[in-house]
């Protein structure tokens, strides 16, 4: 499983979150358009705040499903959330797509989950039900470049995940 190399992660500390916010928001809302019922599946947990903290980059992402909104913060910035998950970025993205077994990663301590476990399980179940495919979802907004975007994204995903890219569920 690939991790973001320090040669990329260390200089990223110089990048203010507001510079990457438009890019991250665009991806977030593209996925929301492709899977409109995602946050509805959360039920009462839609009002919870979720923090996703990649351990290999200096940013964290706070998702507020009921807004819907994503906020990018520094990884060390104190942010009040109800539930959080931490692990390598590639692993978190693979979990988003259901490519890896979250239980196995949790019990092997490859990821750390904190806060409201019921809320996190509700989110995981909602994600599993949506069958998110990031290359396909990103390609949808690329117009005539969609095949190229999908191809590149699929290639990057297969290289980042290696043998684990086939998925578990």
Q: For position 1, what pLDDT does the model report? A: 61
pTM attached to this predicted model? 0.87
- The mean pLDDT of 109-124, rounded to a whole number, is 95
CATH 3.30.1050.10 fits 6-130, yes or no: yes
| pLDDT > 90 in the chain, percent | 57
pLDDT of residue 122 exceeding 70, the answer is yes
State how far the alpha carbon of 43 is from the alpha carbons of 38, 40, 125, in Å.
10, 6, 12
pLDDT of residue 41 exceeding 90, the answer is yes
Q: For position 169, what pLDDT does the model report? A: 44
Q: Is 49 exposed, middle or buried (0-12, 13-18, 19+ CB in 10 A)?
A: buried
User: DSSP of 53-115, one letter per residue?
Assistant: EETTSSEEEEEETTTTEEEEEETTS----SEEEEE-HHHHHHHHHT-S-HHHHHHTTSSEEEE
Distance CA 108, CA 106 (A): 5
Q: For position 78, what pLDDT does the model report? A: 84
Could you state, in order of their start, the residue ranges of all structural domains in the chain?
A: 6-130
Q: For position 12, what pLDDT does the model report? A: 84
pLDDT of residue 165 exceeding 60, the answer is no
Cβ–Cβ under 8 Å, residues 48 and 126: no
Structure tokens given for 76: 């060390």
């Amino acid at each position: 499983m690939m991790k973001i190399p320090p040669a990329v992660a260390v200089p990223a500390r110089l990048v203010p979150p507001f510079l990457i916010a438009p890019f991250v928001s665009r991806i977030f809302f593209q996925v929301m358009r492709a899977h409109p019922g995602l946050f509805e599946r959360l039920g009462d947990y839609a009002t919870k705040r979720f923090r996703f903290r990649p351990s290999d980059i200096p940013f964290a992402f706070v998702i507020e499903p009921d807004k819907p909104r994503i906020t990018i913060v520094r990884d060390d910035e104190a942010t009040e959330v109800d539930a959080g998950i931490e692990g390598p970025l590639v692993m978190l993205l693979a979990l988003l797509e259901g490519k890896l077994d979250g239980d196995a990663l949790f019990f092997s301590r490859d990821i750390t989950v904190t806060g409201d476990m019921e809320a996190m399980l509700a989110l995981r179940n909602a994600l599993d039900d949506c069958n998110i495919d990031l290359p396909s979802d990103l390609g949808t907004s690329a117009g005539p470049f969609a095949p190229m975007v999908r191809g590149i994204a699929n290639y990057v995903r297969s290289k980042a995940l290696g043998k684990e890219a086939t998925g578990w569920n």
